[in-house]
Structure 1
Amino acid sequence: MIRQGAMLLALATLGFAALPSHPVHAQAADLGCTMKFSLTEWSVIFKRAQGKGVITCENGASRNVEISAVGAGATVGKFKIDNGTGKFTHVHTLDDVLGSYVAGQAHMGVVKSGTVQLMTKGKVSLALAGAGEGINLGVDLSKFTIKAAK
């Protein structure tokens, strides 16, 4: 239990360290965008994930997206997340959410698996949460990419 808490604390520290440290200047209002997603992942030191989602903003804009992630760390497992959720901050146009994010992740579970991810891409940040099924344990750093669905 102490080891799990230490892993989550380390992840949170990495996530906050990756956030931009420059002052935020007045810009257009944040669009209040969220994402619903599904994701399948496997890992043995090296991690690979594929998925899809829908991003919706408070102004009514939405976009179907494809999600991929690659990374490495102290990680092993295979799991699937359905009905995951994400919340973006500092989004001023829907295109701001597209691109590659630096992601830190802590995950653990047998049969019922869970994930928490904090990531950043310049001024845009994304927090993901989800639960699913599979076997997984570890902490890793990865590149999480969101692109418009074809």
Structure 2
Amino acid sequence: MSKRTLGLTAALVLGVAGLAGLPASRAHAAPAADIKCHLKFSLAGWSALYQHAEGSGHIVCDNGQRAAVSINMVGGGLTAGKFRIDNGTGEISHVRGIQDVFGDYAEAGASAGVIKSGSAQVLTKGTTSIALAGSGEGINLGVAVDKFSIKPVSH
């Protein structure tokens, strides 16, 4: 391609971007979902065919965004027990910003424990996923399909 053709092509692209009302630098696609956020949480609950747990935590994203959050988990299945997770952690990936973190995640997992209990689960919401890990105390046994919700806490 000659220098003149290259210059005309560049002018045409810039002109079309200007006609669209976009500065040439903003004519790019939305930012990629490559920010990671980190969740620290505690959670306590029970299950007897129906499972319910509530907790709280804090999220800090690599871009500096932060939020205090409430966590709610409900579900059903062949489960029985009472449990508590302290100092749980979560790695949240495929987000553009902290707003992508909030909402409902689907989970399918299995757990078993007596006295000291541990868990590791992966939850998804569209393309966003959370890898959770934690340990605590309790007695639990079963398999459940749950909804795991994260909501910002209003101050």
Please tell me whether residue 102 in structure 1 is matched to residue 117 in structure 2: no
* Counterpart position of 1:86: 90
1:136 aligns with one of 137, 140, 153: 140
Tell me how far 1:138 sits from its aligned partner.
Answer: 1.2
* Counterpart position of 2:67: 63
Tell me how far 1:83 sits from its aligned partner.
Answer: 0.3
**Higher-Rg member (1/2):** 2
The answer to whether the Cα contact below 8 Å between 1:106 and 1:116 also exists between their aligned partners in 2 is: no
* Counterpart position of 2:45: 41
* Runs of 5+ consecutive residues of structure 1 not aligned to the other structure: 1-24
Tell me how far 1:27 sits from its aligned partner.
Answer: 4.1
The answer to whether the Cα contact below 8 Å between 2:60 and 2:67 also exists between their aligned partners in 1 is: yes
Superposed CA deviations along residues 1-38 of structure 1, whole A, max 9, x for unmatched, are xxxxxxxxxxxxxxxxxxxxxxxx98425111110000
Please tell me whether residue 51 in structure 1 is matched to residue 52 in structure 2: no
* Counterpart position of 1:145: 149
* Counterpart position of 2:122: 118
Give secondary structure in 2 for the equivalent of 1:28. coil
Superposed CA deviations along residues 64-96 of structure 1, whole A, max 9, x for unmatched, are 000001101111110100000001110111100
Please tell me whether residue 73 in structure 1 is matched to residue 96 in structure 2: no
Judged with a 3 Å threshold, the aligned counterparts in structure 2 of structure 1 residues 98 and 29 are, in CA distance, closer, same or farther, namely: closer
Give secondary structure in 2 for the equivalent of 1:59. coil
* Counterpart position of 1:30: 34
Match of 2:136, as an amino acid? G
Tell me how far 1:105 sits from its aligned partner.
Answer: 2.1
Match of 2:79, as an amino acid? T
* Runs of 5+ consecutive residues of structure 2 not aligned to the other structure: 1-28
Runs of 4+ in 1 over 4 A off after TM superposition: none
Determine what percentage of the aligned residue pairs are the same residue.
52
* Alignment: residue pair count: 126
Superposed CA deviations along residues 126-145 of structure 1, whole A, max 9, x for unmatched, are 11111000101111101111
Q: TM-score, normalised by structure 1?
A: 0.79
Q: TM-score, normalised by structure 2?
A: 0.77
